[in-house]
Structures are given as structure tokens and as C-alpha cells.
Amino acid sequence: MSILFRRRIKIIPGVRLNISKSGLSASVGVRGASVTLGGRGGTYANLGIPGTGIYTRKKIGGKESNPRLENNKQDNFYEDAQNIPDEVFVSAEPFEITSTGLQVLKDAVIEANNQRNLLSKDLKKIKKKIFFTKILKLISQISLIYFVGPIKKRIKENLKQLDIATKQIKEGIENSYVDLDLNLNEKAEKEYKKVINSFKKLTTSHFIWDITSATDVDMVRERTSAAYTYERRKSDLSLQELPGIKSSFEGCCFKNQNGADIYIYPGFLVMYNSETNFGIVELKEVEMLFNESNFIESEQQPNDSEVIKYVWEKTNKNGTRDKRYADNRELPLMRYGEITFYKKTGIFEKFMFSNYEYSEQFISDINFFIDSI
């Protein structure tokens, strides 16, 4: 039996991102192979936070604001929507949104992931061959034919070749990553450390929710003081590397419950579904907004949130208790923080945090960092 290892291990080129006020350029492999992005457009993102009366109008494009969102002046939310959502917070398919200047980085990551997967399959085949070769060795020892010179020599040689192939494949897997060099100036690097510190605090929020949709409520029919319901799902944050990338910076990862996860790196943001379905956009192209959310909490009350006041679950038009309901409960109106990610051409995600201060600080730090580059 002979062993032939044919997989060609390709060296994955490193990617250097130069981040500056004039734009972001990505260079792969050879010097001079780079593309520089321009500045942001002049459109406006109009984001009303259903039920809170909070309205934000940010310049990112050319469209005017939505009067429906602008005129909503309600104080509270209620959860468990039963109707068709009036607003859904969902982004486009990640592969559709990559910024032109970051396509080279995306291509390098896909190539690294593909090579790593192929090598992993090869490693399984090699391990299987080692297993059967050792079984053959055992059988030949029991039958005493192992001690026949040529057979013993052949089995030893095969195991030696398999061991060499295993080491080569493992080394190839270890190197099947994009070595990302983020070129930040001293000031920007200092500001990004603040972003990391505030993100670490944000991860400690007692509750983190991904808001997937909002629905209008008929306040009279439902006997409630909440004008909107939210569909929300428990979520999580973590510092972790994007699959296929190795860098001195870890990504700030927001786990998305109805779409692609969000990874924030210095200079760019990744919408990540899988190793082949992801998009990379320049950080300056994405609006990251903070708003206060006053939310009627009917589930477990977080230990890191402020109670604004208590309201009745079922109310009269003037907000007083509806005495027709014997089991009518007083519920806390909580002060939560909301973070919205918005890009006109494909990103619309919203997260809610029980810790108002930490969520506000993170958005303040990340936007200050963006302004510094």
C-alpha cells in the first residue's frame, strides 16, 4: 500500500487595511494592489423607535423622513405581538452588501475558509488510513506474517508517510487564515481600546435582546397603555475572531436571532451567516444609533435597570386601573437602552439592553472612534 498526498497547500496572502480620514484601503499580497473607498453619501436614515416617542433623523442619504415614525409620541412598549408586524428589523442577504474596497478582504477570507475545510477533510481521510493500517499491523502480528521482512518494512513506511502527511495537513490548516494587519494611528488605537472596554461592560448586561419586529397596538381594544408590541429574543454578545481571520483585534460580536451575526472591527463591520455567505462594509457606511426605550416589562425584571414607574397591565383610557380585570397586575415601566445598526443598502438590526448606561457608552465610544479615523 502506498500513500499519495496531492493536496496543494496555498499560502493565503495577508491583508493590510489602512484606516484614515480619507477612506479605507485594502492591500493584498503585493505592494500597490489596493483600492481606496470614498466618503459617505448624503442620504438620511429616519428611525422612529415604536412606542417611545423617540425619533432620530441621521444624514446618510437623500430621502426625507417618514412622518408616521416622526409623529409617534408614546411612552411604552408591550411584548408578545400577535398581529402581523408593522416594522421588521431584518437585513439583506450578507453577500449583497460588501463595500467595493473590501471585496479583496472578503475574497481572501473565503479562499482561506475553503482551503481549511478541504484540508480538514483530507485530515479525516489520513486518520482513517492510519487506523486501518494499524489494524492491518495488528492482524499481521497475530498471524505472524508481520515479522516477514518486506511486510514489516512496508507497514512501517506507510505509517511514517501517514505521520508526515498528518503533520503537513495540520500545519496547512493552522495557516489557512487571513493575517489581518490593521494600520491604526496612535490616537485611533487608543480610542478603539475604549470601544473594547465599553463593549466588555455591555456584555455583562443582565438581559440582551434582539428586536426582530414591532407591531401597532389598538390601545382601546387591548385596554393597555402600550402603543406598540415588540417581538424580542434573548441574545448574546462576545469578543471573538471572525472565522477565517487572525488579527491582533478581536471582533465585537452581536448574535443575531433572525439573520446574520454582526462583527465590528476597527474600520469595518461584517454581517456573517456562514463561511461563504457574509458581507464586509466600511464602518463609516453604517449608522450606529442609540435611543432610550421605556418598556413595560411583564417578564423577569433585570437587576441592572431603572424602574421609571409602575403601570397597570389593563388600563382605562386615562391610564387608571381597569377594575373589570380581577387579576390586573401592576407592571414596571423599565428604562432600557437600544442600539440600531442601519445602512440604507441592506442593514437594519436592533438590539435592546437592560443596562441603559453601558449601551449608551458603547455607542458613544464607537462613534467617537469612527470620527477619529
Q: What is the total residue count of the chain?
A: 373
Spatial separation of the C-alpha atoms in residues 345 and 234, rounded to whole Å: 27
List, for residues 295-315, the tens digit of each pLDDT value: 989 899 999 999 999 988 777
Share of the chain above pLDDT 90, in %: 40
Per the listing, cell 451567516 goes with 273
Per the listing, cell 453619501 goes with 41
How would residue 330 be classed by pLDDT, with cut points 50, 70 and 90? confident
How would residue 255 be classed by pLDDT, with cut points 50, 70 and 90? very high
Task: Determine the 3-state secondary structure of 115 from DSSP.
Answer: helix
Contact by Cβ (8 Å): 75, 319: no
Residue 339's φ and ψ, nearest 5 degrees, are: -120, 130
**pLDDT confidence of residue 48:** 37
Bridge partners of 272?
Answer: 261, 278
**Residue type for position 133:** T
Per the listing, cell 434573548 goes with 234
Comparing 90 with 55, the larger pLDDT belongs to 90
Looking at the predicted structure, is the pLDDT value of residue 41 above 70?
Answer: no
Looking at the predicted structure, is the pLDDT value of residue 7 above 80?
Answer: no
Is the whole model's pTM more than 0.75, yes or no?
no
Per the listing, cell 499580497 goes with 29
Question: By C-alpha distance, which of 348, 76, 51 is closest to 212?
Answer: 348
Q: What is the largest CA-CA distance in the chain?
A: 98
Looking at the predicted structure, is the pLDDT value of residue 221 above 70?
Answer: no
Cell numbers for 15: 491583508
Give the containing element (helix H, strand E) for 244.
Answer: none
Q: Residues 180, 185, 189, 191: what is their CA dihedral angle, to the nearest 10 degrees?
A: -140
Give the containing element (helix H, strand E) for 85.
Answer: none
How would residue 140 be classed by pLDDT, with cut points 50, 70 and 90? confident
Mean pLDDT (whole number) for 250-264: 95
In the chain, where the domains are located:
15-35+112-179, 42-100+185-372
Residue 372's φ and ψ, nearest 5 degrees, are: -85, -10
Spatial separation of the C-alpha atoms in residues 36 and 105, rounded to whole Å: 13
Looking at the predicted structure, is the pLDDT value of residue 40 above 80?
Answer: no
Q: Are strands 330-343 and 347-353 parallel, antiparallel or unpaired?
A: antiparallel
**pLDDT confidence of residue 209:** 97
**pLDDT confidence of residue 226:** 57
Per the listing, cell 437602552 goes with 337
List, for residues 332-351, the tens digit of each pLDDT value: 999 999 999 999 889 999 99
**pLDDT confidence of residue 136:** 81
Q: What are the b/e assignments for 213-241, b being 16+ CB within 10 Å?
A: bbbbbebeeebbbbbbbbbbeebebeeeb
Q: What are the b/e assignments for 105-131, b being 16+ CB within 10 Å?
A: bbebbbbbbebbebbeebbeebeebbe
Spatial separation of the C-alpha atoms in residues 104 and 347, rounded to whole Å: 21
Spatial separation of the C-alpha atoms in residues 74 and 218, rounded to whole Å: 13
Spatial separation of the C-alpha atoms in residues 367 and 102, rounded to whole Å: 21
How would residue 235 be classed by pLDDT, with cut points 50, 70 and 90? very high
